[in-house]
Amino acid sequence: MRKTVSVFICALTLSIAGTTAVTAPALAQDKAQAPNTRPYSFANLSEKLLPAVVNISSTQKAPEVNLQEVPEGLPHFPEGSPFENFFEDFLQRRGGEGFQAQPQSSLGSGFIIDAERGYIITNNHVINDADEVRVTFHDDQTVDAEIIGRDEKTDIAVLKVETDKKLSEVKLGNSDQIRVGDWILAIGNPFGLGGTVTAGIVSARARDINSGPYDDYLQTDASINRGNSGGPMFNLDGEVIGINTAIFSPSGGSIGIGFAIPSTLAKPIIAQLIEYGRTRRGWLGVRIQHVTEEIADSLGLPDTSGALVASVTKGGPSEASGLKAGDIILELNDTKVKEMRELPRLVAETKIGSKAKVTYWRDGKKATTTVNIGELEKAEETGLIEENAPTNQKPAQNGVDMEDFGFTLTELNDGIRTQYGIDSNVNGLVVTKIKPSSEAAQKGLFEGDVIVEVNQTMMKSTKDFSKVVKVAKEKNRTAILLLINREGSSRFLALKIDDKD
């Protein structure tokens, strides 16, 4: 039987009745200048670090039962009946239909970064939707905790405790200095057992596990399990270089593939949550795509580095800078964008209100411009950020058959606009038929899509399309780049050119 491998968040979720559910994150992080040889023992370091690591339990109250909506088959009592209070208590305890309304408790880990002010770091998913959060220290003392701030995009949360107890703290190190093969320690609360130390090495860096827009995980083979979420990963200098967050596993238990949020990514987020109670990220005001080999070839780029601008947000920071759809952003403030997913992190860490230098590729050469960095959260609140448009599939119309590419194009007119719901400010050629087995269909081109540009040339007629393809062939290009508009949202799609004449 084939096993399914899943990514588990490493928090341990329990019902009050004690039945186990699942999910929580685990950490794997770096160490600054770790020794190349394994130490004889981790005992002294573990003894020093354990008091700063805490267990975290969060509880979400069960929903209240409405006596006017008693499940079918159970007795109903009129208001004021002597049995009303008894039956209400019964329903609250049993949860009504299916008896599923018991309070839920999640167990995870955390670590103290400021003993004087009582600040504790954990994963957001450990305390998400919690009505009550409690922290248990290494000596088993338990206190209530306040949620200071949390960030879903990076899965980081900051808690605060008030206690007369003298607390131990640990410091955030520099995860950029960690190397693959360096030794690390992971400390946490697996399965609610309490403080547990495991050791391993950094297996890989910059892992993207598709959990969020800023994925940049450290991978480790240290044993990390459910309940380790939010716990620290230490280098051999005793500095936190990661926050345990997730594991790959066919069963939910550790198989030596764990992931941690790097401390260099976490540091600015933690500082913002403490200062503002929320994040304040930089915002460029563009939607971007990966640069594939076909896209790079169609634009004359020497490699696939950079981020392709799919659209520029109206009213956003980049609109006034001159950036436009089809540009490839190569650098931000002289830092090279090696691949698309690096740009959101670079922009997020750029100071809001600052002027950022953007180097981009257009018309076969590099150019530069300056963008006044906006604030991502404000853009989200005001609705400036575009949402992904849904697929728009419509019945086919007659048009010009682009046989080499497997689709039919039709020039826009009022009837076509009405049929496909195309806005009056969108211009180009409409895809009215597409061959299911074609490369275009396989890459996500649909009937009703509007091809606005091909190789950065505006499409006004089907002849324009044929001319651009001919020029691309003469230049020995192997692909063309289409700018697609689908229900107001833009994206790019590269198609290979059939080499037959």
Res 456: pLDDT: 87
Which pLDDT belongs to residue 223? 86
Using DSSP's 3-state secondary structure scheme, residue 174 falls into: coil
The helix (H) or strand (E) run that includes residue 470 is: helix 462-474
Dist CA 260 CA 205 (whole Å): 10
Distance CA 60, CA 54 (A): 20
- Range list for CATH 2.40.10.120 in the chain: 1-62+102-279
CATH topology of domain 400-496: Pdz3 Domain (2.30.42)
CA 50 – CA 36 distance, rounded (Å) = 24
Structure tokens at 335: 């830092």
Please give the positions annotated as active site: 125, 155, 229
Residue 195 CA neighbour count, 13 Å, CB half:
17
DSSP state string for 98-137: GG----EEEEEEEEEEETTTTEEEE-HHHHTT-SEEEEE-
HSE on the CB side for 463, CA within 13 Å? 0
| DSSP-assigned letters across all residues of 341-392 | THHHHHHHTSPTTPEEEEEEEETTEEEEEEEE-EEHHHHHHHT-SPPPPPP-
Beta bridge partners of 55: 109, 136
Query: How high is the pLDDT of residue 28?
Result: 36
Helices then strands, each counted (H, E), the chain: 10, 29
Map tokens 């997020």 to a residue: 348
pLDDT tens column, 437-465: 788 888 888 888 999 999 889 998 888 99
What are the DSSP E strand ranges found in 208-291? 217-220, 232-234, 240-249, 258-262, 282-283, 286-289
Query: 374-375 and 400-402 as β-strands: parallel, antiparallel, unpaired?
Result: unpaired
pLDDT for the residue numbered 82: 54
496 Cβ contact partners less than 8 Å away, ≥ 6 residues apart: 294, 439, 478, 479
Report the 10 Å Cβ neighbour count for 89: 11
**1-62+102-279 carries CATH number 2.40.10.120:** yes
- Give the residue carrying structure tokens 């990963």: 233
Q: Is 457 exposed, middle or buried (0-12, 13-18, 19+ CB in 10 A)?
A: middle
pLDDT in the model for residue 11:
57
Is the sign of the CA dihedral 45, 46, 51, 56 positive or negative?
positive
pLDDT-flagged residues of the chain (< 70): 1-39, 62-104, 249, 251-252, 386-401, 499-501
Q: How many residues does the chain have?
A: 501
- For CATH 2.30.42.10, the residue range(s) in the chain are 282-382, 400-496
Contact 347, 340 (CB under 8 A): no
The predicted pLDDT at position 92 comes to 58
Q: What is the CATH number of domain 282-382?
A: 2.30.42.10
